[in-house]
């Protein structure tokens, strides 16, 4: 399948997210669209060897590999809310994290309170990332 038709799904180590993404892929994959579910993004994102456990924002580092080596430009990124440091300003946090990873010109559209569409650049490549923050932040976490 051509890279421009594929959306790559990225998530940390959560089993719930993987099950949701599998169900989405079964329902929506077709002739015009496909959702790619990597078995282990750490292997692909780090030169075919697992060097660390990817969770939260660190998972976005795999985007660089998918863009530069394989030409993919569309991504779905699911992350648990526990990895969000500033829940009241998620857009700014997402933007800063992407810039720290080498992405430029992040434009963030708020879809819901915990879902965002990010358009940005990685070098000369235009990249689109749907960011979904899963879960609710507990009161005890704030104390």
Cα distances (Å, whole numbers) of residue 142 to 59, 118, 122, 136, 138: 24, 27, 34, 12, 7
The whole-number pLDDT of residue 53 equals: 59
The pLDDT tens digits for 77-94 are 888 787 777 767 889 999
Here the tokens at position 41 are 């993004």
pTM: 0.76
Eight-state DSSP code of residue 86: -
Dump pLDDT digits (tens) for 6-57: 787 777 666 666 777 777 777 766 656 666 666 554 434 444 444 455 667 7
pLDDT band, residue 121 (cuts 50/70/90): very high
């Amino acid at each position: 399948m051509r890279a421009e038709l594929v959306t790559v799904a990225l998530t940390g180590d959560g089993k719930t997210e993987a099950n949701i993404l599998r169900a989405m892929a079964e329902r929506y994959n077709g002739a015009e669209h496909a959702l790619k579910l990597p078995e282990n993004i750490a292997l692909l994102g780090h030169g075919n060897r697992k060097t660390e456990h990817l969770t939260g924002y660190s998972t976005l580092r795999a985007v660089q590999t998918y863009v530069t080596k394989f030409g993919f430009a569309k991504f779905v990124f699911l992350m648990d809310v526990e990895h969000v440091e500033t829940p009241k300003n998620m857009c700014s946090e997402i933007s800063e994290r992407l810039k720290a990873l080498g992405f430029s010109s992040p434009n963030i559209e708020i879809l819901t309170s915990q879902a965002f569409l990010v358009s940005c650049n990685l070098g000369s490549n235009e990249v689109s990332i749907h960011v979904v923050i899963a879960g609710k932040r507990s009161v005890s976490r704030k104390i």
